Chains A and B, each alone.
Chain A
Amino acid sequence: MLEENQTITIKGTKDGLTLVIDDRGPFEDVIDELTDKFSEYSPKKDEPVVPVTVKLGNRYINDRQKQQLRELIGNENCFKIEFFDSNVIHRDEALTWKEDSDVKVINRIVRSGQILENVGDLLLIGDVNPGGKVITSGNVFVMGNLLGIAHAGANGDRDAVIAASYMKPSQLRIADYISRAPDYESEGVYMECGFVDEKQDKIVIDRLQVLSHKRKDISGFERRMLNG
């Protein structure tokens, strides 16, 4: 049986250890108890590294405290903290997260020499003219003519897509991939999208309908639109 005042419970699962830390009581107590617990344990060499998940409940810990836990558990022992699981996140984190997942609606024309930079998904109502550029960390949706450069997933998200009502871009960029228009004069395409094809290892352009198979999570966009 567990003692009443015990703040730390250790469970073994098939994925490693789960460390449940009670969310009441000061953080110092947690550290003390952990130091206690781990001092009893002396690992043998060449034991495999055991992944640890830390469940924090309703406790918020900052990066410094996370580092403290990592050092305490990871050092000298064969444990490694894989994941902190907490019910609460910091306001700033939440805001960044919201910004990243929000769809920004912008109504303008991005003309030659202009750059439209954004975080999260971008819904541009208007054209991107030749020489104009849109950059965002999420997906790019253009309700209008995309004739310039579009860069989706600028922070490295290779799953980002670029969709436009009319597409005749000079370049499409997704994360670190770049594709450019052919040298011969070509007609643009209507209602198509560009995404990174893993097999071909390059950006391909296909009908919008293909997206529902390739990027299932994108429907999040629709959901957010419905919920306002």
Chain B
Amino acid sequence: MGEAIVVTSGKGGVGKTTTTANIGTALALMEKKVCLIDTDIGLRNLDVIMGLENRIIYDIVDVIEERCKLGQALIKDKRFDDLTLLPAAQTSDKSAVTTDGMQKIIQELKQTYDYIIIDCPAGIEQGFQNAIAGADKAIVITTPEKSSVRDADRIVGLLENEDMDPPKLIINRIRNHMMKNGDMLDIDDIIQILSIDLTGIVLDDDDVIKASNSGEPVSLQGKSKASVAYRNIARRILGETVPLQSLEDEKGMFKKMKKFFGIRS
């Protein structure tokens, strides 16, 4: 029996879809069977980021309206056999999906997959209700900005009314120099306001945008900071204890030596 995790944020543009794609890919890297669901009906993106756009034949609305079987709508990933995507419809709107329909699909997917990652649309309307309907757990994404923390707080409040575990937090798009100057909210401040467990921090990384545009999730690229961050999050989802990534840039050997001898640089 698998586990359904919804990735949500309230505010748009904080990186829900990117996070969904990357956590899913990272879990698949660790040889888990993963299914990604895009519930942003009418504004689908997940397929683009995964680079699977031109393989879509049927979508989630087709499944709900019984124009096809669930298995027919699932798209197998190019890179992993155990990673599939259930795309959203681009032509319908959010009312085409019901909470019952979602629950049924997720129940069915749970039989075969270890993890089902649900990409939630922005907002708190029907689309949000649909996305969280079948989920067992939730991950709330925020950026170190006031508006996005405010919306995350609203979402956490709404999730508390649902029958699921307390949500986990990912802080996305951290810019270290701004956080140091105090121009961005501090990680501790954000946790204090939202008072939920932190499950990962992701630095603002140019590679993420490059990767999204090329349809290759960044978590496949070994070196970049964001890639490591996403893989760490996936490991935490699997239950491993992984320390938080350091925000500092990698120091050279010389600087490390200086620090070791206590010389100020």
Q: A126's closest neighbor in chain B, by CB?
A: B195
| A107 at the B interface (CB under 8 A) | no
Q: Would you list which residues of chain B between 218 and 251 have a CB under 8 Å from chain A?
A: none
Of the listed stretches B62-70, B111-119, B125-133, B146-154, name the one at the interface; the rest are far from the partner chain: B146-154
Bitwise, B148-173 to A at CB < 8 A (1) or not (0) is 00110110111010000000000000
B253 within 8 A of A: no
> When the two chains form their complex, are residues B195 and A113 in contact, meaning their CB atoms are under 8 A apart?
no
> How many Å from the CB of B247 to the closest CB on chain A?
24
Q: Which residue of A lies closest to B193 (CB)?
A: A129
Chain B: minimal CB distance from A67 (Å): 46
Q: Give A165 Cβ to nearest chain B Cβ, in Å.
A: 13
| Chain B, interface SS category | helix
Q: List residues of chain A with CB within 8 A of the CB of B157.
A: 109, 111-114
Q: Residues of A contacting B158 with CB < 8 Å?
A: 113
Q: What residues of chain B lie closer than 8 Å to A129, measured between beta carbons?
A: 153, 193
Chain A, 101-130, CB within 8 A of any chain B CB: 109, 111-114, 127, 129-130
Residues of B within 8 A of A127 (CB): 193, 195
Counting chain B CB atoms within 10 Å of each CB, the highest count among A109, A127, A132, A145 belongs to: A109
Q: Out of A109, A114, A131, A145, name the residue touching B150 (CB < 8 Å).
A: A131
**A130: B residues at CB distance < 8 A:** 150, 153, 193
Residues of chain A contacted by B160 (CB below 8 angstroms): 111
Residue of B at shortest CB range from A148? Answer: B153
A132 / chain B contacts, CB cutoff of 8 Å: 153
**Closest partner residue, chain B, to A130 (CB atom):** B150
Task: Return chain A residues, CB-CB under 8 Å to B192.
Answer: 145
Q: How far is the CA of A62 from the CA of B192 in the complex (A)?
A: 53
Query: Quick one: CB contact mask for A124-157 with B, threshold 8 Å, 1 for yes?
Result: 0001011110000000000001010000000000
Closest to A131 in B: B150
Nearest-CB residue, chain A, relative to B124: A113
Bound CA–CA A145/B158 (angstroms): 20
B-chain residues with CB within 8 Å of residue A131 when the two chains form the complex: 150, 153-154
Taking the closest CB of chain A, its distance from the CB of B137, in whole angstroms, is: 19
Question: Which B positions have Cβ atoms within 8 angstroms of A?
Answer: 150-151, 153-154, 156-158, 160, 192-193, 195
Apart from A130-B153, A147-B193, what are 6 other A-B pairs with CB-CB below 8 Å?
A111-B154, A113-B153, A113-B157, A113-B158, A129-B193, A130-B150
